[in-house]
Amino acid sequence: MLDVHDLTITFGPTTAVRGVSLTAAAGTVTGVLGANGAGKTSTLLGILARAPRQSGRITFDGADVTGFDTGALVRAGIALCPENRRLFPNMSIEDNLLLGAYGTGRATRRTRLRDTYDRFGWVATRRAEPAGRLSGGQQQTVAIARALMSAPRLLLLDEPSSGLSPVAVDEVGAVLADIARDGTALVLVEQNVRLVRALCATAYVLAHGQVTASGPVPELLSDTAVSDAYLGTTA
Amino acid sequence: MSQVLVNGVFLGCLFAVVAVGLTLVYGVMEVPNFAHAGVIVLSAYTTWSASAAGLPFALAALAGIACGALVSVLTEVLAYRWIIDRPAAAPAVALGLMLILQNVALRLYGGEGRSLDTPYDRVLLRLGGVSLSGVKAALVVLAVVSLLALHLLLSRTSLGRAMRAVAQDREAAAILGIPMRRQYALAFLIAGVLGGVAAIAYAPTFQVSPYMADEVLLSAFVVVVLGGLGSVWGAVAGGLVLGVVEGLGSAYLSPAYQSAFGFLLLVSILVLRPGGLRSTNARRVA
Ligand SMILES: Nc1ncnc2c1ncn2[C@@H]1O[C@H](COP(=O)(O)OP(=O)(O)OP(=O)(O)O)[C@@H](O)[C@H]1O
Ligand SMILES: [Mg+2]
């Protein structure tokens, strides 16, 4: 589904990502782990053409989408649920959701809105409220729902559990499992190892912008060197 | 007293239309668009020359508005777009653009003032003890209609929703695939149309000259700050407040200091409420 090859991203003098390659398959959750500043967010932004790529080839669904701009990538079926959720706090929940389907026709937007309300019942009852009034967990749900409004086949998620209570983390986990079950490919950047264990079959570990380990999650996380390096910085 | 209020409302509508154009551009692109004054000047001259060439006033007015829209979009495409990553350069570029546009007007039309005649010049509306010239009444109507149209655009359409989103969080909007450049151009287009409306609405009471918009621009910036940067409804409310304050000040104290009352108001508000009348933490266009 997604094939990233040799991605390098620099911000001025800083190289945030160097030569990262990764793949993600439909209906699975692929984890990306790493300490603060390892380059996880930059990798996701790079895939969506929101960070300056120095090198890299992005293949999506067998087609080379390297030269696409963000709008074209979203239309092709890639969506990002960004770090810190980034809802528009002064706009209504419904406006936030509709923005996720920007560029589609009115009828499509209405259908997807209805599907969203079917899936997340409480969102419908609060749709006119400003998004900023929701709790962290609720905002995360709306952020995921907003990303789904573009009907993506690949969903990139940047630390959806951050700042949430354990109960809210479990709820988000259940939602993500559900999305994957529908056949969507998920790439999950996470520091919450429990969530990674619960959802991901395979994962990559990033350090200083490079992939230092990758493979099936149980083995990857039982590798003491990896868990020390990783958990050591998050404890 | 009510006559003074009516005059204040007239001024307030003018300030609001100009200020909304400024605040929209600021909200979306964070540019203090001084060039807006030049847009108003060129719109007014276009209307004047089209009507001097024999075009009916309504067509001349449309030509003026179209010119405002075009010039405004050009300032974005040719100048502001290129400094989007260097906000510190924006004020200097904006001032430069204003001077360029004023000099274009000077070159094309000369420095002497022109008077713009309208079909409703000689109309005088009376209601009780209050009278309002046709020109002023037209301005109030035009202002209300164009601000309502803008309100509908921002609240009811997909483009307007995207514009509010860009004003609140540019990067989050970009991640959703909203094309930034189109939003920037659209903000300048709307500002240009409003500038054109302001030009044809108030040129008949003043005069068409390359510097006709300088004072209005200053007042409109006061309004933008009063209303909270990027807030459209703040700009409308701020425009009306400032218009009435300037009207009252010049009627009961001294007309010579009309603009000074506005700045006095600005300073007092900034001391009391640093975020403007409608204090917002996040930028917004709504
Ligand atoms: N816009 C930017 N400008 C300059 N440097 C940046 C920018 N974004 C990221 N960086 C740098 O790139 C490196 C990787 O950052 P990135 O945000 O991708 O890490 P991360 O793994 O997502 O970290 P975190 O766990 O804290 O979210 C860091 O050194 C960071 O300072
Ligand atoms: Mg990050």
Q: What is the CATH number of the domain that holds A123?
A: 3.40.50.300
| Tokens read off for B21 | 């154009």
Q: Give residue A203's pLDDT.
A: 95
How many structural domains compose chain A?
1
Query: Does position A232 have pLDDT exceeding 70, yes or no?
Result: no
What's the A71 CA to ligand 2 centre distance in angstroms? 22
ipTM topping 0.85: yes
**Preferred mutation among B156, B175, B229 to probe A, highest tally of A CBs within 10 A:** B175
Edge-to-edge strand order for the sheet containing A2-11? A14-24, A2-11, A53-60, A63-64
Mutate to test the pocket of ligand 1, among A7, A18, A40 (most ligand atoms within 8 A of CB): A40
A185-189 vs A154-158, strand pairing mode: parallel
pLDDT digits (tens, 9 = 90+) for A81-111: 999 999 999 999 999 999 999 999 999 999 9
Minimal CA–CA distance to B137: which of B149, B148, B122? B122
Ligand 1: lining residues by beta carbon, under 6 Å: A 11, 14, 16, 34, 36-42, 83
Token pair of A156, please? Answer: 């990139």
Q: How far is CA A192 from the centre of its chain?
A: 14
Q: Which two tokens stand for residue B121?
A: 């010049």
The span from the CA of A163 to the CA of A170, in Å, is 13
Q: Name the residue in chain B with its Cα closest to that of A149.
A: B176
What is the tens place of the pLDDT at every residue in B117-155? 888 878 888 877 788 888 888 889 999 999 999 999 998
Q: What is the mean pLDDT of chain A?
A: 93
Neighbours of A87 (CB within 10 A): 25
Which of A9, A10, A11 to probe ligand 1 with, by most ligand atoms within 8 A of CB? A11
- Percent of chain A, pLDDT > 90? 90
Which of B176, B284, B286 lies nearest to residue A100, judging by beta carbons? B176
Q: What count of residues does chain A have?
A: 235
Which residues from chain B sit within 8 angstroms of residue A74, using beta carbons? 176-177
Residue range B2-272 forms a domain whose CATH class is: mainly alpha
- The Cα–Cα gap between A148 and B157 comes to 21
For chain B, which residues make up each domain, given as ranges?
2-272
Task: Write out residues in chain B with pLDDT < 70, as ranges.
Answer: 274-286
Q: What is the pTM of this model?
A: 0.88
Query: In the 3-class helix/strand/coil scheme, how is A109-148 assigned residue by residue?
Result: HHHHHHHHHHHCHHHHHCCCCEHHHCCHHHHHHHHHHHHH
Check CB contact under 8 Å for B158 and A98: yes
On whether any CB of chain A is under 8 Å from the CB of B169, the answer is: yes
Residue type for position B160: G
What residues make up the domain containing A69? 2-231
CA-CA distance, A160 to A44, in Å (whole number)?
A: 13
Q: Which residue of B has its CA nearest to A73?
A: B177
Q: Which of B85, B176, B183 to mutate to test the interface with A (most CBs of A within 10 A)?
A: B176
Crossing angle of the two packed helices B158-168 and B134-156, in degrees rounded to 10 = 80
3-state secondary structure of A24: strand
